[in-house]
Structure formats: structure tokens, C-alpha cells
């Protein structure tokens, strides 16, 4: 359904060029949900925005292909790409307040797509919207239909945003932290709905979140990003129980676990690199407990193994015997 090949995105800033996404390749099958994890600034939002063709003006794709249902979105005309994206790709943004129109009742924003893009009648599109509002867990949907964005709570706006993204029955849904603002029961309800849609109608999903538990619950496959690159990918249960990249292991060790209340968390040492001038070699080497001299330069592509996993680390066999803290250099 979606194949991203060697995608690199640069963003111009006052201090130079940010290498926000660097040589990322990912494949998504129909009905598959791929979780994307990684610290703040690792390029997750930039990656999704590139797929959607909504990069900031200062950003541009320097290299790569984004093939969606057989069409390379970067190679066709802007008009063609917009058409494909508008009809078949939905997106839930990180910040719901900026996504909603402040002067239009939220229900009309949900029915707009079905009305004008799917060609439904006014009544029909209203019913579609009401159904979505109900499914997404909006209490008293008939009243909320007429409300404006500022009259709703953050969690409610987030759900409206999800309803809009789903309203044209997209084939692919791009989610950027869609449930961070929601309480756990609502979050659970939405994750179930998304899972059901991918099972029943083949909806494909790229699901970005900091919350590894949400990925474990929602996505069969996970890709971990670090400093603009994918450093590990594989079936979520295996990656989370036996990570093969030290960054993934560090990420997992820094998550609070209710089963270990009171036990110390082990944050990853140091800070993510400045992407104006990322470290040479493996970008994680300055923070890595496994690092050796051969990590300092060269390329570190994501290498797949027969068991459907991939890692960019060349020393992963030493993970079991190396403590998390202290760097190897």
C-alpha cells in the first residue's frame, strides 16, 4: 500500500540545514498498522508530513520515493498528488487546536468531506458525521454537532479531528500522537475503533507516538526512529521483549512500568544530537553503551534478517552482556 524508499528531508533554519529525515525506507501493507516510536525531534512528524505533502515551506525532500497504491507521490504533478492524498489519505495532527476551523460548527467539519468529496447528499453526510461522532465516543453527539471548537475540551477536539480524518473512508491513516490528550478509557475506545477499521476495511496506519504501551496495544509492527533515521523495525512483541538496537533498549528502560513501581528508571545518557550536524557514523554512538571505534564512521543502514526484523546496530549481539549505563567509548 505504501512504500517509502530512501527518503531524506532537509529543513532550512537560521542556523543552517536540519537533516530531519535521513534515508528512511518503510513498507506498509494493506490493513497493516505500523507504530513509529522515538524521542522528541527524531523526525516522526516530518516523515508523516512528507507522506502527506504538507511539509513546512522551509523543508524539502532531497531524495527518495513515496509510493502510495502504485503512484509515486513525489514524481506526479502537485495536482495529481493532492487528489490522491485528499481522497485516500487521512491525517490526525499532533495539535488539534490548529487543525479545526474555529468559525464552523464541528459537525459540519466532519460532514464536509462526505458531502463534497464523496458526493453524499446533505442528509446523508449529516448521518455519516453523526455516526462517526458516536463511534468516536462523543457524548450527546446531536448537541456537540453544532458546537464550535473553542466550546469543546482538548480531548473532545482531538476526537473530532479523528472523526474528520476518517470521514472520507481513507485507505491510509497517518496519526501523529492522536490520543496523547485523552484519558485512558477514551484512548482505549479510539484505539479499538482504529484496530477494527484496519481489520474490517483494510485501513493502513502509520501511528506516531511517544507512548510505547499504545504502540504495543495497537500496532503489530514497530519502527524506532533516532535522529532522523529508522534504527530498528520488527514485530512489536519481539522488538519490545528482545530489542536489537541499544537505542530501543534504552527507550524501553526509560519507560515507567507499573509492575516495577519504586524501581529506578534508566534514562538514556546524554541528549539527542543537533540535526544541523549529526554525529558521523552511527548517530547514536555518542550515547551508546556498545559503541566501539567501528561505530564512528561509515553508513549504518537498517539490515533485515530472515525473522522479519531489522536493526542498524552492528554490535547487537553484545546487548545481553552490556549494561545500559556508561558509554562504550
Ligand X SMILES: Nc1ncnc2c1ncn2[C@@H]1O[C@H](COP(=O)(O)OP(=O)(O)OP(=O)(O)O)[C@@H](O)[C@H]1O
Who contacts 292 (Cβ-Cβ below 8 Å, separation ≥6)? Answer: 315, 328, 329
CB closer to ligand X, 11 vs 173: 11
Who contacts 306 (Cβ-Cβ below 8 Å, separation ≥6)? Answer: none
The DSSP string of 108-173 is HHHHHHHHHTS---HHHHHHHHHHHHHHTT-SSHHHHTT--GGGS-HHHHHHHHHHHHHTT--SEE
What cell numbers appear for 203 in the block?
Answer: 485501513
Who contacts 192 (Cβ-Cβ below 8 Å, separation ≥6)? Answer: none
Among 2, 22, 26, 42, binds ligand X (CB under 6 A): 42
What cell numbers appear for 41 in the block?
Answer: 525531534
List the interface residues with ligand X, window 80-99 (CB under 6 A). Answer: 94
Among 8, 45, 109, 218, binds ligand X (CB under 6 A): 45
Which range binds ligand X by CB under 6 A, 11-19, 146-154, 289-297, 298-306? 11-19
What cell numbers appear for 30 in the block?
Answer: 494493506
List the interface residues with Mg ion, window 3-62 (CB under 5 A). Answer: 45
CB closer to ligand X, 58 vs 121: 58
By CB under 6 A, is residue 58 in contact with ligand X? yes
Nearest approach, Cβ of residue 99 and ligand X (Å): 15
Number of residues that bind Mg ion (CB under 5 A): 1
Q: Give the separation between CA 127 and CA 133, rounded to whole angstroms.
A: 10
Main-chain phi, psi angles of 291, to 5 degrees: -60, 140
Which range binds ligand X by CB under 6 A, 44-52, 97-105, 194-202, 317-325? 44-52
Main-chain phi, psi angles of 107, to 5 degrees: -60, -40
Nearest approach, Cβ of residue 281 and ligand X (Å): 19
β-bridge pairing 172-176 and 89-92 = parallel
CB closer to Mg ion, 37 vs 106: 37
Max alpha carbon distance in the chain (Å)? 67
By CB under 6 A, is residue 41 in contact with ligand X? yes
Nearest approach, Cβ of residue 305 and Mg ion (Å): 29
Q: Give the separation between CA 190 and CA 16, rounded to whole angstroms.
A: 40
What cell numbers appear for 19 in the block?
Answer: 537533516
List the interface residues with ligand X, window 151-180 (CB under 6 A). Answer: none
Residue 236's binding partner among ligand X, Mg ion, none (Cβ under 5 to 8 angstroms by kind) is none
By CB under 6 A, is residue 46 in contact with ligand X? yes
Which residue(s) pair with 17 in the sheet?
A: 12
Among 6, 16, 54, 56, binds ligand X (CB under 6 A): 56
Site string for ligand X, 260-299 (x = CB under 6 A): ---------------x------------------------
By beta carbon distance, the residue nearest Mg ion is 45
Within 13 Å, how many C-alpha atoms sit on residue 231's CB side? 29
Residue 18's binding partner among ligand X, Mg ion, none (Cβ under 5 to 8 angstroms by kind) is ligand X
Nearest approach, Cβ of residue 303 and Mg ion (Å): 27
By CB under 6 A, is residue 43 in contact with ligand X? yes
Q: Give the separation between CA 152 and CA 182, rounded to whole angstroms.
A: 13
Which range binds ligand X by CB under 6 A, 39-47, 131-139, 215-223, 246-254? 39-47
Nearest approach, Cβ of residue 95 and ligand X (Å): 10
Q: Which residues bind ligand X (CB under 6 A)?
A: 11, 13, 18, 20, 38, 40-46, 56, 58, 94, 275
Q: Which residues bind Mg ion (CB under 5 A)?
A: 45
Amino acid at each position: 500500500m505504501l512504500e517509502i524508499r530512501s527518503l531524506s528531508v532537509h529543513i532550512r533554519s537560521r542556523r543552517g540545514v536540519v537533516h530531519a529525515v535521513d534515508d528512511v525506507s518503510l513498507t506498509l501493507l494493506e490493513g497493516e498498522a505500523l507504530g513509529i516510536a522515538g524521542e522528541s525531534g527524531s523526525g516522526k512528524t516530518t516523515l508523516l508530513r512528507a507522506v502527506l505533502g504538507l511539509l513546512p515551506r522551509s523543508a524539502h525532500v532531497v531524495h527518495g520515493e513515496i509510493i502510495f497504491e502504485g503512484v509515486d507521490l513525489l514524481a506526479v504533478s502537485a495536482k495529481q498528488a493532492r487528489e490522491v492524498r485528499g481522497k485516500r489519505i487521512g491525517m490526525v495532527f499532533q495539535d488539534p487546536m490548529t487543525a479545526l476551523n474555529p468559525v464552523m460548527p464541528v459537525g459540519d467539519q466532519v460532514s464536509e468531506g462526505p458531502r463534497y468529496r464523496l458526493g453524499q447528499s446533505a442528509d446523508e453526510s449529516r448521518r455519516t458525521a453523526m455516526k462517526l461522532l458516536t463511534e468516536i465516543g462523543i457524548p450527546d453527539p446531536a448537541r456537540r454537532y453544532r458546537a464550535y471548537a473553542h466550546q469543546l475540551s482538548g480531548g473532545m477536539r482531538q476526537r473530532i479531528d479523528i472523526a474528520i480524518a476518517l470521514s472520507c473512508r481513507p485507505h491510509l491513516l497517518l496519526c501523529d500522537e492522536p490520543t496523547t490528550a485523552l484519558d485512558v478509557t477514551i484512548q482505549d475506545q479510539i484505539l479499538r475503533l482504529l484496530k477494527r477499521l484496519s481489520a474490517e476495511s483494510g485501513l493502513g496506519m502509520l501511528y506516531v507516538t511517544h507512548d510505547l504501551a499504545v504502540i504495543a496495544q495497537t500496532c503489530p509492527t514497530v519502527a524506532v526512529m533516532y535522529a532522523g533515521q529508522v534504527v530498528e523495525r520488527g514485530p512489536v512483541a519481539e522488538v519490545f521483549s528482545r530489542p536489537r538496537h541499544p537505542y530501543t533498549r534504552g527507550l524501553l528502560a526509560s519507560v515507567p512500568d507499573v509492575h516495577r513501581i519504586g524501581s529506578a528508571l534508566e534514562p538514556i545518557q546524554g541528549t539527542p544530537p543537533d540535526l544541523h550536524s549529526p554525529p558521523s557514523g552511527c548517530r547514536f554512538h555518542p550515547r551508546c553503551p556498545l559503541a566501539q571505534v567501528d561505530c564512528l564512521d561509515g553508513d549504518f543502514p537498517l539490515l533485515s534478517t530472515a525473522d522479519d526484523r531489522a536493526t542498524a546496530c552492528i554490535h547487537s549481539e553484545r546487548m545481553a552482556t552490556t549494561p545500559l549505563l556508561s558509554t562504550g567509548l
